[in-house]
């Protein structure tokens, strides 16, 4: 089945550690996105990528990094510089960057203590 997978579903880390969240899609989509969701707030864009080896900062990129070495994969690293990393992280993809529906993964809930 085509879709987006994120792993793990739940992730726990100690403060000061970097952590990488996985996102894989087999939809042959060019564009991929990372969002953060906090209670009572709308989703906010962290990074997006239009094509392999290209990515752009979203609204809240500070403390995060990404790579796009393969079309299928868009991992997100939450660095120790991120002040409030505990959140629900959603990955999405779309055929192209504009005018297309976005398909979302199941999300990863990250807790940093």
Least CB distance from residue 65 to other proteins, whole Å? 16
Q: Would you count residue 88 as binding other proteins (CB under 8 A)?
A: yes
106 in contact with other proteins (CB under 8 A):
yes
What DSSP assignment string belongs to 67-107? --SBTTB--EEE-TT-S---EEEEEEEESSSSSS--EE---
Written as six digits, the tokens of 113 are 């203590």
Residues 32/68, Cβ–Cβ less than 8 Å: yes
Q: Does 16 bind other proteins (CB under 8 A)?
A: no
109 is a site residue for other proteins (CB under 8 A): yes
The CA distance from 18 to 75, in Å, is 13
- What number of chain residues touch other proteins (CB under 8 A)? 28
What are 66's strand-pairing partners? 76
CB of 16 to other proteins, least distance (A): 26
Q: Decide: 105 and 5 in contact? Cβ < 8 Å.
A: yes
Q: Is 78 in the site for other proteins (CB under 8 A)?
A: no
97 binds other proteins (CB under 8 A): yes
- Binders of other proteins among residues 51 to 70 (CB under 8 A) are 56, 58-59
Q: Which residues bind other proteins (CB under 8 A)?
A: 31, 33, 40-45, 48, 50, 56, 58-59, 88, 90, 92, 97-107, 109
């Amino acid at each position: 089945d085509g879709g987006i997978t994120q792993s793990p579903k739940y992730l726990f880390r100690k403060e000061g550690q970097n952590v990488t969240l996985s996102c894989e899609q087999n939809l042959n989509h060019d564009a991929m996105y990372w969002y953060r969701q906090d209670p009572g707030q709308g989703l906010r864009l962290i990074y997006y990528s239009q094509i392999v080896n290209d990515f752009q900062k979203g609204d809240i990129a500070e403390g995060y990094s990404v790579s796009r070495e393969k079309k299928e994969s868009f991992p997100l690293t939450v660095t120790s510089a991120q002040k409030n990393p505990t959140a629900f992280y959603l990955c999405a993809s779309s055929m192209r960057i504009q005018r297309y529906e976005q398909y979302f993964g199941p999300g990863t809930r990250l807790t940093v203590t």
